[in-house]
Each structure stands twice: as C-alpha cells, then as structure tokens.
Structure 1
Amino acid sequence: MPYPDALAGRSSLPRQIYHITICTHQRQPFFANWQTGRLAVQELKRLQDERQAESLAWVLMPDHIHWLMQLSESASLTDMIRLFKGRSARIVNMSLEREGRLWQRGFNEHALREEEDIRHIARYIVANPLRAGLVNRIGDYPLWDAIWL
C-alpha cells in the first residue's frame, strides 16, 4: 500500500525501485572536485546503512546526481531525499567553507515498472560521465557505483 508523501502528487511505495535525479542549486558544479563528491556519496551510503534505501546504481556528476535505489519497507521517499540533501549540504558546505543552498528544491523521480530493464537503466546512469565527455572510460570516473560489479 502506498504511503502518502509530504509533497502533493507523490507517493512512497514500499520496496519500489526509483530512478532519482537531483540537481545542484543553479546547476553549480560543486562536485567537479571528486573529494567534495565523496562527502555526498558518504551520505548515500549512510542512508543504506540506516536501511532507508538500497542503492543499486548511482553517479554523482559535477552538478547533479542520478540514483537508482529501492526504497525500504518503512521509509518515505520525500523524507529520505530530504535527509540526503540536508546531510550532504551540511557536510559539503562545511568542507567548501560556504553557506547557502547546495541542491535545487525538489527532485525528479521515476518509479520503475515491472517490465523495465533495471540493468539497462543502471548502465545508462553510470555512463553519464562518458556521454558528458568527462572521461573516455567509466573506470576513470571516481564518483559512481553499481551492485552488478
């Protein structure tokens, strides 16, 4: 049964797989430095450790993140994204000695349908740095992961 979510028009489906996209505030390339990006990645891993969601694949680009994840049985999608954005903003801002918004308001989500090929979507996600011309081989890009490695 879906749980009503804090934002109108959204619902959280337990165990649902979502493709999440979150952009930085004004598309600023906060994560062009991979060391800064690792701080945000720590917060993805923390959510998994807290059993909020299971990360299936993700890539942190200089100005946005793509995240393929499965929501836990008890987590709210909006609350979990709010936690990620708040925690990562706090630690990244501290590291960059700045204040202000790190992420744009809101996020985009796509709840995968049963017939969609999860591995195909994961390959699309992790290939973002290749399509953006940031690297010639995905192995050269430091801010991505997938469970199928």
Structure 2
Amino acid sequence: MSQKFKNKYRIPSSRLQNWDYGANGAYFITICTKNREFYFGDIIDSKLEASELGILAEKYWLDIPEHFPYVELGNFVIMPNHVHGILIIDKNASVSVETRLIASLPETIYKTGGFAGNKNPMLHDNISRIIRWYKGRCSFEMKKIHADFGWQPRFHDHIIRNEKSFETIQNYIENNPLNWDKDKFYGK
C-alpha cells in the first residue's frame, strides 16, 4: 500500500525492517537500467559483448573495494540491462583511510542528515551508500557517452543468510548469461 510523504505517494520499502544494512554479511544486489534499456551490450554465445557503457559498469563495480575497503566482491555479472553482484561487508577486516580522517573532525558535522537526522543511511557505511556511489559514478561517466543513460531509482537486495544460499546465488550469477533468454529482464 502506498503512503504519502510531503504530499507525494511513496512505495513502502522492501528492505527488511530492523536489519542494519551496514552489518557484516553478504548481500545479493540487482540494479537495473532505466526502463530496462540494453545499455551494457548484448549476450552473444552466452557471453556479454560489452558496449562502452558495459565496460564502465564493470570497471566501477571492480572499484567498489577501493572506495569502501570493508567490502569484498563476490561473483558479479554485467548483463545488457542490469547488474547482479554479491557485496560482502566485513568491517573487522580493515580500517579505512576515510574513517581515520573523519575521526579527527567534529562529530556534529556528521550528525546532520536532513529530515532523517542521524538515521539518514547515506551518513553510514552501508549497502545504500555503496550502491549510491556506484550508480552515481557510473551515471556521471556514462552520460558523457550516452546522454539518455539512467538507472531505475531503486535496487533489489537480498541478505544471504547461509553457505548454501551463498553458493546458489554465486552459481546463479555465474550462469546468468547462459540463461539470458529465460531471464525475467530479457524482454525489457
């Protein structure tokens, strides 16, 4: 059921309530292009023949751990109109330079988050912040090549809760190009 915020209808969040999306764990992410347009290339012989935008989509996905050192990449695949990938958050594995630098600044600078205050997810190291960076970086560069490029506003996430699920999703991602003609994103 839609809700109103500032006199506009909003779709309720599909996020798991009371889950900290910055918590250590593995997350299966799917991000689609606007209107599921085939910006990233074509599947030929069960393999992506990447366009310039597809090459950039892969490049910036691979850059995620450089910007978020607490993230490890699981399997990922760039498809013609979407990206599937596993992001593994492990904040115990490293201390980021960014964290060391902001620790010396006054704390009040980071406690402002518009109407959400400190609850604003973009002020925290979590999945939303990572995906926002990825989509923003891709959009900035891709619009230089294709001015109409865009992402769907949201992304899909699934919290991976056990090893069996992790392996199933890793295999699904790996085999996604082989099964492209059966994929729900195939027909736009």
Count of paired positions: 126
Say whether 1:62 aligns with 2:110.
Answer: no
Cα distance in 1, alignment partners of residues 137 and 175 from structure 2: 26
- Name the larger-Rg structure: 2
Report SS of the residue matched to 1:75.
Answer: coil
Cα distance in 1, alignment partners of residues 145 and 65 from structure 2: 23
Report SS of the residue matched to 2:125.
Answer: coil
Q: Quote the sequence identity (%).
A: 27
**What do the CA deviations read for 1:69-127 (whole angstroms, capped 9, x no partner)?**
1024272111111000000111111122x14x511011110001125342231111121
Say whether 1:78 aligns with 2:147.
Answer: no
What's the counterpart of residue 25 of structure 1? 34
Indicate which of 140, 144, 162 corresponds to 1:94: 144
RMSD across aligned positions (CA): 2.3
TM-score, length basis structure 1: 0.74
Cα distance in 2, alignment partners of residues 128 and 37 from structure 1: 15
1:1-149 correspondence runs (5 A): 9=15, 11-32=20-41, 34=50, 35-50=52-67, 51-73=69-91, 75-96=125-146, 98-99=147-148, 102-133=150-181
Cα distance in 1, alignment partners of residues 66 and 163 from structure 2: 29
Cα distance in 1, alignment partners of residues 154 and 165 from structure 2: 26
Q: Which runs of 5+ in 1 are unaligned?
A: 1-6, 134-149
CA contact (8 A) 1:53 1:75 kept: no
Cα distance in 1, alignment partners of residues 163 and 56 from structure 2: 34
TM-score, length basis structure 2: 0.60
Instruction: Mark the CA change 1:40 to 1:52 in structure 2 (over 3 Å): closer, same or farther.
Output: farther
**What do the CA deviations read for 1:35-81 (whole angstroms, capped 9, x no partner)?**
32111111112111221521110011000111111024272111111
